[in-house]
Amino acid sequence: MTPAAFEQLKRYLEFGNADAENIRSLAGEARALIPNVVEQFYGHILADPETLRIFTGGEEQIDRQRRVMRGWLEDVFAGDYGPEYVKKRTEIGHAHVRVGLPQHYMFTSMEVVWRGFFVGLIGDSTSATRRRELSSLHALLMLDLAIMLASYQDSYTEQVRKRERSAVEEKLTRAEHLAEIGQLAASLAHEIKNPLAGISGAIQIIQDAMRDDDPHRPIISEVIGQIHRLDATVKDLLLYARPIPPKATSFPLANVAARVLSVLREEPAMLRIRTEFDPGPVGATIHADEAQVEHLLMNLILNAAQASPAGEIVRVRIQENGSGSLRFVVKDNGVGMPPEVRDRAFEAFYTTKAKGTGLGLSICRKIVDAHNGTISLDSERGGGTTVMVDLPRNKSNNSFE
Ligand code: HEM
Ligand SMILES: Nc1ncnc2c1ncn2[C@@H]1O[C@H](COP(=O)(O)OP(=O)(O)OP(=O)(O)O)[C@@H](O)[C@H]1O
Ligand SMILES: [Mg+2]
Interval 234-247: pLDDT, tens:
888 887 776 677 88
106 alpha carbon – ligand 1 mean position (Å): 10
pLDDT of residue 357: 82
379 in contact with ligand 1, CB cutoff 6 A: no
32 in contact with ligand 1, CB cutoff 6 A: no
67 alpha carbon – ligand 1 mean position (Å): 10
CA distance 324 to 207: 50
Same domain as 373, residue 255:
yes
Which ligand 2 atom is nearest residue 357's CA?
26
pTM assigned to the model = 0.52
pLDDT exceeds 90 at position 166: no
Check which CATH number belongs to the domain holding 382 and give it: 3.30.565.10
Most confident of 4-18, 52-66, 192-206: 4-18
CA distance 29 to 299: 84
Same domain as 184, residue 295:
no
Residue 372, domain extent: 249-397
pLDDT of residue 391: 95
Interval 47-95: pLDDT, tens:
998 888 888 988 899 899 999 999 999 999 998 999 999 999 998 988 9
55 in contact with ligand 1, CB cutoff 6 A: yes
Same domain as 236, residue 343:
no
pLDDT exceeds 80 at position 40: yes
Report whether 316 contacts 276 (CB < 8 A).
Answer: yes
Which residue has its alpha carbon closest to ligand 2 atom 8?
Answer: 303
Interval 321-342: pLDDT, tens:
877 899 999 999 999 999 999 9
pLDDT of residue 243: 67
β-bridge mates for residue 332, sequence order: 385
Check which CATH number belongs to the domain holding 26 and give it: 1.10.490.10
Tell me which residue of 282, 343, 346, 268 sits closest to 310, measured CA to CA. Answer: 268
Same domain as 35, residue 160:
yes
360 in contact with ligand 2, CB cutoff 6 A: yes
Among 167, 187, 211, identify where a domain stops: 167
β-bridge mates for residue 388, sequence order: 329, 376
- Which ligand has the nearest atom to the CA of 149? 1
Distance (Å) of CA 124 to CA 119, 127, 128, 131? 10, 9, 12, 12
**Residue 359 binned pLDDT confidence (cut-offs 50, 70, 90):** confident
pLDDT of residue 337: 97
- Region 297-320: mean pLDDT is 96
54 in contact with ligand 1, CB cutoff 6 A: yes
pLDDT exceeds 90 at position 159: no
Q: Per the structure, how many domains does the chain have?
A: 3
